[in-house]
Homo-oligomer: A and B are copies of this chain.
């Protein structure tokens, strides 16, 4: 792979489309038993035997979903895989394969695409998924990444969005809101840089939240952990658009209401201090932020003892009859209807 200390710029048209796909994927190894045939034919061939196959797809567009001014291509490649395997984990399934399609304008040299695919390869290794196909082409403007993730699960393992019951507990993994504030810090630094290109940003106070934005991880541990604890969630979703959006998805599809408790929201101390610095309400950030790639799920009250005290989980609310609606219960004990303000790609 090309090192930064020896920068080169190889024009993509030197390779042509066929050469490019071959070149970018040549180091990708196949490790999943369900991958029967990978890259190199009209289609890949998979064999899930008695398991169910799980399929999810996402499109990432430069200027809409990411900004190359502060997003290194290697991180972007990694994150684009994370975003997709997170959807598979949210089904309580195991990701096994991905396809990767990329469109780039001619301003990208080959070395830039190699960095992107380095990140993709790293994530594929981390999440143990085979890259089984894809497409590379030119774009009129910017970089476009389309990934389809495929996973497998026994039918009995699968968890949908529509299984939550009244009185179930609402649980979230990790902490939330940091990815959003990481983005705010990066946007601010970009503006400073535009005014004064010689400014040296000091980002030490923001390392955690910036990493949550630039280098998120999907919660591959949760499936194993829940299995070990003998807990099967009644519903599950991943937090990509924001906590309130995801809660509303679960409620609408399950036909239940929800009380979410402000005081229970798991916030990182760094997030809280950055919210103070930016004079933004941390609860608003935690609820509407998005891009955390944590898992949100509901469990039966009977399972509470099994997860109690586990540092991976925070009980943040409980489900109610549908007629009671979907509310945030504030620290002052007032109930505010929850709205899906989440990150809406079409507003940007």
Do the beta carbons of A52 and B40 come within 8 Å of each other? no
Do the beta carbons of B54 and A91 come within 8 Å of each other? no
The answer to whether residues A347 and B135 also contact, given A41-B91, A44-B54, A46-B55 and a CB cut-off of 8 A, is: no
Cβ contacts A49-66/B at 8 Å (1 or 0 each): 110111111110111110
- Looking at the assembled complex, report how far the CB atom of A133 sits from the nearest CB atom of chain B, in whole angstroms: 6
Cβ contacts A31-56/B at 8 Å (1 or 0 each): 00000110011111111111011111
Q: Which of B56, B146, B150 contacts A42 (CB 8 A)?
A: B56
Do the beta carbons of A55 and B346 come within 8 Å of each other? no
Do the beta carbons of A101 and B42 come within 8 Å of each other? no
Q: Is A176 an interface residue (CB 8 A)?
A: no
Considering only CB atoms, which chain B residue lies closest to A134 in the complex?
Answer: B57
Do the beta carbons of A133 and B42 come within 8 Å of each other? no
Q: Is A321 an interface residue (CB 8 A)?
A: no
- Looking at the assembled complex, report how far the CB atom of A297 sits from the nearest CB atom of chain B, in whole angstroms: 11
Q: Is A179 an interface residue (CB 8 A)?
A: no
Considering only CB atoms, which chain B residue lies closest to A100 in the complex?
Answer: B57
Docked CA distance A59–B100 (Å) = 10
Copies in the complex: 2
Do the beta carbons of B91 and A45 come within 8 Å of each other? yes
Residues 139-171 of A at the B interface (beta carbon under 8 Å): 139-142, 144, 146, 148-151, 155, 158, 160-162
- Looking at the assembled complex, report how far the CB atom of A152 sits from the nearest CB atom of chain B, in whole angstroms: 10
Docked CA distance A102–B59 (Å) = 8
Q: Which of B90, B133, B140, B340 contacts A18 (CB 8 A)?
A: B340
Do the beta carbons of B36 and A52 come within 8 Å of each other? yes
Q: Which of B12, B46, B93, B155 contacts A43 (CB 8 A)?
A: B93
**What is the interface of chain A, defined by CB distance below 8 A to chain B?**
12-13, 15-18, 20, 36-37, 40-50, 52-59, 61-65, 87-88, 90-91, 93, 97, 99, 101-103, 132-142, 144, 146, 148-151, 155, 158, 160-162, 236-238, 241, 245, 253, 340, 344-348
Docked CA distance A341–B144 (Å) = 26
* In the complex, chain B residues whose CB is within 8 Å of the CB of A46: 52-55
* In the complex, chain B residues whose CB is within 8 Å of the CB of A346: 12-13, 15-17, 20, 136-138
- Nearest first, the 7 A-B pairs at minimum CB distance are A43-B56, A146-B146, A42-B90, A137-B345, A42-B87, A141-B141, A46-B53
Q: Which of B42, B52, B93, B253 contacts A47 (CB 8 A)?
A: B52
* In the complex, chain B residues whose CB is within 8 Å of the CB of A241: 17
Apart from A46-B54, A64-B140, 15 more pairs, CB < 8 Å: A16-B346, A17-B345, A41-B160, A42-B237, A43-B88, A45-B54, A45-B91, A45-B158, A55-B99, A55-B132, A57-B133, A57-B146, A64-B103, A65-B137, A140-B142
